[in-house]
Amino acid sequence: MFELIPLSRAKKDVQYRVIDMKGGRSANQRLSDLGLYKGALITVEGSIFGPILVRVLDSKVAIGRGLAQKVYVEAIA
Amino acid sequence: MKRSTIALVGNPNVGKSTLFNRITGHQQKIGNWPGKTVEIKEGKNKITDDGITFIDLPGVYSIEANSPEERVANDYIEKKKPDCTIQVIDSTNLERNLYLTTQLLEKDLNLILALNMTDKAERKGICIDEKKLSALLGVKAIKISSKKGIGVKELITQCSKIDDIEDSKKDKKILEELGLKAKSLSPKHRYDVISRVASLVLKKPRCIKSRSAQIDKIVAHPILGLPIFLFVMWLVFQASFSLAEPFTALLEDSLASLSALSTELILSSGLPSIFASLISDGVIGGVGSVLVFLPNILLLFLFLLILEDSGYFARIAMITDSLMQKIGLEGKAFIPLVLGFGCNVPAIMATKVLEDERERLITILINPFMSCSARFPIYVLFAGTFFASDQGLVILSLYLIGIFMAILSAFLLRRMLFKKSAPPSLLIELPPYRVPTFCTIARQTYFKGLLFVKKAGMFILSISLLIWFLASMPLGVEYASEQSLIGSIGKLIAPALAPCGFGQWEPTVALMFGAGAKEVVVSSLGTLYGAGEEGLSSAISTHFTPLSAYSFMLFSLLYMPCFAAIAAIRKESGDAKWAIFTVLYTTSIAWTVSTLFYQLAIFFGFA
Task: Assess whether pLDDT exceeds 80 at residue B456.
Answer: no
Task: Assess whether pLDDT exceeds 70 at residue B276.
Answer: yes
Supply the pLDDT for residue B591.
96
- Highest-scoring range by mean pLDDT, B43-47, B133-137, B154-158, B546-550: B546-550
Stretch B352-371: mean pLDDT: 90
Supply the pLDDT for residue B165.
46
Residue B318 and residue B428 in contact, taking contact as beta carbons nearer than 8 Å: yes
pLDDT in tens, A19-51: 999 988 888 988 999 999 999 999 998 887 789
A50 touches chain B (CB under 8 A): yes
Contacts for A21 with CB less than 8 Å, ≥ 6 apart: A27, A28, A31, A36, A37, A38, A70, A71, A72
Task: Assess whether pLDDT exceeds 50 at residue B77.
Answer: yes
A43 touches chain B (CB under 8 A): no
Supply the pLDDT for residue B95.
92
Q: What is the model's pTM? A: 0.82
- The C-alpha atoms of residue B536 and residue B378 are separated, in whole angstroms, by 12
A44 touches chain B (CB under 8 A): no
Supply the pLDDT for residue B163.
59
- The C-alpha atoms of residue B559 and residue B398 are separated, in whole angstroms, by 13
Strands (E), B526-588: none
Supply the pLDDT for residue B222.
77
Task: Assess whether pLDDT exceeds 80 at residue B37.
Answer: no
With CA atoms as reference, the chain B residue closest to A70 would be B425
With a threshold of 0.85, tell me whether the complex ipTM lies above it.
Answer: yes
Supply the pLDDT for residue B434.
85
Proportion of chain B above pLDDT 90, given as a percent: 26
- Whole-number mean pLDDT of chain B? 85
- Cβ neighbours of B308 (radius 10 Å): 22
Contacts for B34 with CB less than 8 Å, ≥ 6 apart: none
Q: Which residues of B touch A (CB under 8 A)?
A: 61-62, 64, 66, 92-96, 99, 186-188, 191-192, 204, 208, 212, 216, 220-222, 225-226, 314, 317-323, 325, 331, 422, 424-431
Proportion of chain B above pLDDT 70, given as a percent: 93
- The C-alpha atoms of residue B407 and residue B403 are separated, in whole angstroms, by 6
Give the closest-approach CA distance of A19 to chain B in angstroms. 11
Structure confidence at residue B554 as a pLDDT band (50, 70, 90): very high
Residue B9 and residue B86 in contact, taking contact as beta carbons nearer than 8 Å: yes
Supply the pLDDT for residue B182.
62
Which chain A residues are within 8 Å of B96, Cβ to Cβ?
34-35, 56-59
| Residue B379 C-beta-side C-alpha neighbours within 13 Å | 19
Task: Assess whether pLDDT exceeds 50 at residue B132.
Answer: yes
At position B585, the amino acid (one-letter code) is Y
pLDDT in tens, B567-602: 889 988 888 999 999 999 999 999 999 999 999 998
pLDDT in tens, B281-294: 778 877 777 777 78
Structure confidence at residue B1 as a pLDDT band (50, 70, 90): very low
Which chain B residues are within 8 Å of A26, Cβ to Cβ?
66
Exposure string over B63-84, b if 16+ CB within 10 A, otherwise e: bbebbbbbbbbbbbbeeeebbb
Instruction: Tell me whether residues B322 and A30 touch, CB distance under 8 A.
Output: no
Residue scoring higher pLDDT (A57 or B464): A57
A62 touches chain B (CB under 8 A): yes
- The C-alpha atoms of residue B279 and residue B563 are separated, in whole angstroms, by 19
- The C-alpha atoms of residue A54 and residue A16 are separated, in whole angstroms, by 10
pLDDT in tens, B81-104: 888 999 999 999 999 999 999 999
Which DSSP symbol is given to A8? G
With CA atoms as reference, the chain B residue closest to A24 would be B424
Which chain B residues are within 8 Å of A34, Cβ to Cβ?
61, 96, 427, 429
Which chain A residues are within 8 Å of B68, Cβ to Cβ?
none
Stretch B425-449: mean pLDDT: 85
Stretch B160-182: mean pLDDT: 63
Supply the pLDDT for residue B2.
53
At position B421, the amino acid (one-letter code) is S
Task: Assess whether pLDDT exceeds 50 at residue B497.
Answer: yes
Residue scoring higher pLDDT (B421 or B344): B344
Give the closest-approach CA distance of A30 to chain B in angstroms. 8
| Residue A42 C-beta-side C-alpha neighbours within 13 Å | 35
- Proportion of chain B in helix, strand, coil states, percent, rounded to 5: 65, 10, 25
Structure confidence at residue B448 as a pLDDT band (50, 70, 90): confident
Supply the pLDDT for residue B545.
92
Task: Assess whether pLDDT exceeds 70 at residue B31.
Answer: no
Three-state secondary-structure class, residue B60 = coil
- Proportion of chain A in helix, strand, coil states, percent, rounded to 5: 20, 40, 40
